[in-house]
């Protein structure tokens, strides 16, 4: 499982070192994308861009940041979900057109990418990348000469977009923050004095000592320029469908998304698991770091002590894990190692956030039993993955997923667990602490809230 992307932007008074703030903000969002990153800075209408493959600390040094002078900036960390990982596909994207320049950073995936790309190419468009973000930039640039303002061009572009998109769009004199009408990906705003700050997660606001103000509403466009900050809500009003997996896995536990603290949601998932799948055991452990919070909740609800049973090598990035199964298996042992003194002779409850193919879970269970665990009972703080995601999550095709082709008992046997339990999909709203909440759970249910205008030819369920 890989994260979506992360975006961060600032708009402040003259003299502000915007690049340094974005640099710090991107560090806080590094968990959302570890393939490439970039920063575009606006200095009185002149936009400078620096981007490359690698982590934030690898791509930017002191010299690079000194070259990025300006009081407004947008930044991006990427994991490839549409288009391969390459420097040309790294963001922000810089577009020069008749009205000047646009820098765009995008988190999410469009569902109608192929339809839009084909239509635009038939009209003469030439694309330099293979990512859907360039389609968004092209639409804005195409509509801008017909519109009075850049925000009007963004609004017109939104009429054609289907899917997930949280955007930062920087023109010569403005910075726009945009959240899609379903609110599928998070985006929030805050202030440092007179400087407005936008980020994928509130933890990034904390990293730059910004005061959190609010999450953007689904469909909202927030405009920051020299006259102040204002909001357009012409695309607001739809039933929101934020991605439930942000709470289960993507977001950092110190973030709060749409008034729900992520840490509390994960604790609640663990408590729900303990009630739904009780078991006699001696110790509850989590797969670090994604399963640790739910493990704490499981321990609190079950009364089984919580302990540390696995150590994670924090110096191995996700880019180390290669696509072949043999390499995935060997990588698990390099990333995780059991604490023999903690697990030997114990009946363990092992809590993790998900099972995708089952390869990683099988390796972890094998390691724990080799370290002396007498039983390993696996508990997963999400429902089984049954469907791929088209909105910015790198969930494999259904052919690669374990759950669509095997019963829970068959998966248990494959991973070598003594028992296996998944979170009941009907309890996801309880996990959020918001009974009746609406969200996108298509990867679990197959109920996709939006698809391409080309129609439902793939047999997927459309709400």
117-147 burial, b at 16+ Cβ within 10 Å, e below that, comes to beebeeeebeeebebbbbbbbbbbbbbbeeb
**Active-site residue numbers?**
5
Q: For residue 237, what pLDDT is reported?
A: 95
φ/ψ (deg, to 5) at 53: -75, 145
Instruction: Quickly tell me which residue has 């054609």 as its tokens.
Output: 160
The helix/strand/coil state of 27 is: helix
Q: For residue 25, what pLDDT is reported?
A: 98
pLDDT tens readout for residues 12-25: 999 999 999 999 99
pLDDT tens readout for residues 427-441: 999 999 998 899 999
**CB contact at 8 A, 296 and 275:** no
Instruction: Quickly tell me which residue has 């994960």 as its tokens.
Output: 266
Mean pLDDT estimate for the chain: 91
Backbone CA torsion sign across 396, 400, 401, 404: positive
pLDDT band at 86 (very low <50, low <70, confident <90, very high): confident
DSSP 163: B
Tell me: pLDDT of 146 over 90.
yes
**CA pair distance 188, 73, nearest whole angstrom:** 16
CATH architecture of 6-240: 4-Layer Sandwich (3.60)
Residue 227 burial (C-beta neighbours within 10 Å; 0-12, 13-18, 19+): exposed
Tell me: pLDDT of 1 over 50.
no
Mean pLDDT score, 61-73? 96
**CB contact at 8 A, 226 and 11:** no
The helix/strand/coil state of 168 is: strand
Task: Output the CA–CA distances (angstroms, integers) from residue 95 to 91, 98, 136, 296, in the order listed.
Answer: 11, 10, 11, 47
Q: For residue 422, what pLDDT is reported?
A: 98
Tell me: pLDDT of 224 over 80.
yes
- Give, rounded to a whole angstrom, the gap between the first and last alpha carbons of the chain: 25
Task: Please state the domain extents for the chain.
Answer: 6-240, 257-445
Q: For residue 106, what pLDDT is reported?
A: 97
Mean pLDDT score, 55-75? 96
Mean pLDDT score, 146-158? 97
Residue 69, H or E segment? none
**CA pair distance 14, 159, nearest whole angstrom:** 34
pLDDT tens readout for residues 35-47: 999 999 999 999 9
Is 257-445 a CATH 3.40.50.460 domain?
A: no
Q: For residue 318, what pLDDT is reported?
A: 47
Q: For residue 80, what pLDDT is reported?
A: 63
Q: For residue 460, what pLDDT is reported?
A: 41
pLDDT band at 455 (very low <50, low <70, confident <90, very high): very low
pLDDT band at 99 (very low <50, low <70, confident <90, very high): confident
Structure tokens at 235: 């695309």
Least confident piece of the model among 3-17, 355-369, 389-403: 389-403
Q: For residue 462, what pLDDT is reported?
A: 43
pLDDT tens readout for residues 106-145: 999 998 988 999 888 888 888 888 888 999 999 999 999 9
Residue 462, H or E segment? strand 461-462
pLDDT band at 329 (very low <50, low <70, confident <90, very high): low
pLDDT band at 151 (very low <50, low <70, confident <90, very high): very high
Q: Which residues contact 346 (CB under 8 A, 6 or more apart)?
A: 281, 282, 283, 372, 373, 374
Equal CATH topology for 6-240 and 257-445: no
């Amino acid at each position: 499982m890989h994260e979506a992307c992360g975006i961060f932007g600032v708009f402040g008074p003259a003299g502000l070192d915007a690049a340094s703030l974005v640099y710090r903000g991107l560090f806080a969002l590094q968990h959302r994308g570890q393939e490439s990153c970039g920063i575009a800075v606006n200095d009185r209408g002149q936009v400078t861009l620096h981007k490359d493959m690698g982590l934030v600390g690898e791509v930017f040094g002191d010299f690079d940041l000194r070259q990025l002078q300006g009081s407004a900036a947008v930044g991006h960390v990427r994991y490839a979900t549409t288009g391969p990982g390459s420097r040309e596909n790294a963001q922000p994207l810089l577009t020069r057109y008749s009205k000047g320049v646009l820098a765009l950073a995008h988190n999410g995936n469009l569902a109608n990418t192929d339809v839009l790309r084909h239509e635009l190419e038939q009209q003469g468009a030439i694309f330099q990348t293979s990512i859907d973000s360039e389609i968004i930039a092209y639409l804005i640039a195409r509509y801008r000469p017909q519109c009075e303002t850049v925000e009007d061009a963004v609004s017109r572009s939104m009429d054609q977009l289907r899917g997930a998109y949280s955007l930062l769009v920087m023109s010569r004199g403005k910075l726009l923050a945009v959240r899609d009408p379903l609110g599928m990906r998070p985006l929030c705003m805050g202030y440092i004095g007179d400087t407005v700050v936008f980020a994928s997660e509130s933890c990034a606001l904390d990293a730059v000592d910004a005061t959190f103000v609010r999450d953007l509403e689904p469909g909202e466009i927030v405009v920051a320029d020299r006259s102040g900050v204002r909001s357009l809500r012409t695309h607001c009003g739809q039933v929101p469908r934020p991605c439930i997996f942000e709470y289960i896995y993507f977001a950092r536990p110190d973030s709060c998304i749409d008034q729900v603290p992520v840490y509390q949601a994960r604790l609640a998932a663990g408590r729900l698991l303990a009630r739904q799948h009780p078991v006699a055991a001696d110790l509850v452990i989590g797969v670090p770091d994604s399963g640790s919070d739910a493990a704490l909740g499981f321990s609190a609800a079950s009364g089984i002590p919580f302990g540390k049973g696995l150590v994670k090598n924090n110096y191995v990035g996700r880019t180390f894990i290669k696509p072949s199964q043999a390499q995935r298996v060997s990588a698990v042992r390099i990333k995780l190692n059991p604490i023999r003194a903690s697990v030997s002779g114990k009946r363990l409850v092992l809590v993790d956030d998900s099972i995708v193919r089952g390869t990683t879970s099988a390796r972890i269970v094998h390691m724990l039993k080799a370290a002396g665990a007498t039983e390993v009972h696996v508990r997963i703080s999400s429902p089984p993955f049954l469907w791929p995601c088209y909105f910015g999550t790198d969930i494999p095709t259904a052919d690669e997923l374990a759950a669509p082709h095997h019963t829970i008992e068959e998966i248990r046997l494959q991973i070598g667990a003594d028992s296996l339990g998944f979170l009941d999909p009907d309890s996801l709203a309880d996990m959020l602490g918001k009974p009746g909440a609406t969200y996108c759970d298509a990867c679990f249910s197959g109920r996709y809230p939006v698809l391409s205008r080309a129609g439902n030819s793939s047999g997927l369920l459309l709400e």
